[in-house]
Amino acid sequence: MLIMKNLILILTTLAIFSTLTVDAQKFYTRDGQISFFSSTPVEDIKADNYQVSSVLNSEGGAIVFSVLMKGFEFEKALMQEHFNEKYVESDEYPKATFKGAIADWENVSMEEDGEVEVTVNGSLNMHGVSNKVEQKGTLTIKDGAVVAAKSVFNIVLEDYEIKIPALVRENIGEEVEVTVEMEYKIYGN
């Protein structure tokens, strides 16, 4: 009898967890965009990458990003070459990643269409260096799904051990503005 009660309890627990898993949605993209902008009195530098992968899990708000560094496109080919070879060393450090979660996920209602301000906490790894980050952003909710995410923030190149040679130091800002824009699809659709 005790064995039967335990079996029923285990089966009931598994049924509840499988229901939760079915209700949890994952939103993804493989063609998100990350741009960066550096401005100095000497020169403005802008680059875009349209090959960003990201997954957002509706159960708890976990979020990850992955971007190939060689995917950044510059106006000038020489800038792109220097970026990959001398600054971010793309052959040695081919991608940047972010792993974290939306800290205030419990405040995100999937039942109301519109934009929701959120705070994202996690670890940004770039150029072989990981740093804890906390940034503000927005999620766009439509028809019960996260359809877009956006954040604009600054990073300090020195925090990721990205060295700028003295010869061009006046051309590149010590801080770079980063813009992250994702348009998500529901995983499995």
Dump the DSSP string for 46-80.
EEEEEEEEEEEETTT-EEEEEEEGGG-EESSHHHH
- 25-186 belongs to CATH 2.40.128.110: yes
Q: Give dist(CA 45, CA 48) in Å, integer.
A: 11
> Any idea where the domains of the chain sit in the sequence?
25-186
Per-residue pLDDT of the chain (189 residues; tens, 9 = 90+): 544 443 443 443 343 333 333 356 899 999 999 999 999 888 899 999 999 999 999 999 999 999 999 999 999 999 999 999 989 999 999 999 999 999 999 989 999 999 999 999 999 999 999 999 999 999 999 999 999 999 999 999 999 999 887 777 788 888 999 999 999 999 876
Distances (CA, A) of 40 to 37, 156, 161: 10, 14, 20
Spatial contact of 101 and 61, defined as CB atoms under 8 Å apart: yes
pTM of the model: 0.82
Q: Which amino acid is it at 167?
A: L
